[in-house]
Amino acid sequence: MAYNNELVNRVRERLSLEDNMEVEEKKMFSGLSFLVNGKMCINISHDNLMCRYNAELEDEVSGKKGFLPMMMKGKQLKGYCYVEPSGFQKSDDFEYWIKTCLDYNPSAKASKKKM
């Protein structure tokens, strides 16, 4: 599993600023995922962020620099995207993506637990 450790630390540091939030790190999606309150929130895959957000924001987020649609079985998976480094190098852009993911997290569905 390849992921950018500097980016992992940047996300880890940013998430540590939040109150009343349980963060778990888990290797998944060919990278390292940050689960917030038991739900996948953001992932680091190679040098990219993988973001989970409200699908109603698709038009807004797809216009952001560095946005790459997440494709599964030839179809775009709404509410998920990859963001290339050019889209989060600036601190304001990085904060946009983290906040967008965190804002959606309370209403996101948790994955079913395996027995």
- Residue 111's pLDDT band (boundaries 50, 70, 90)? confident
Domains (ranges, CATH) in the chain?
A: 5-107 (3.90.1150.30)
pLDDT given at position 1: 60
- 67-72 vs 23-28, strand pairing mode: unpaired
Neighbours of 7 (CB within 10 A): 20
Query: Can you read off the two tokens belonging to residue 6?
Result: 């500097």
Residue 115 has pLDDT above 60, yes or no: no
Query: Exposure of 48 by Cβ count < 10 A (0-12 exposed, 13-18 middle, 19+ buried)?
Result: buried
HEC readout, 64-77: CCCEEEEEECCEEE
- Residue 114's pLDDT band (boundaries 50, 70, 90)? low
* pLDDT tens digits, one per residue of 49-80: 999 999 999 999 999 999 999 998 999 999 99
| Statement: the pTM of the whole predicted model exceeds 0.85 | yes
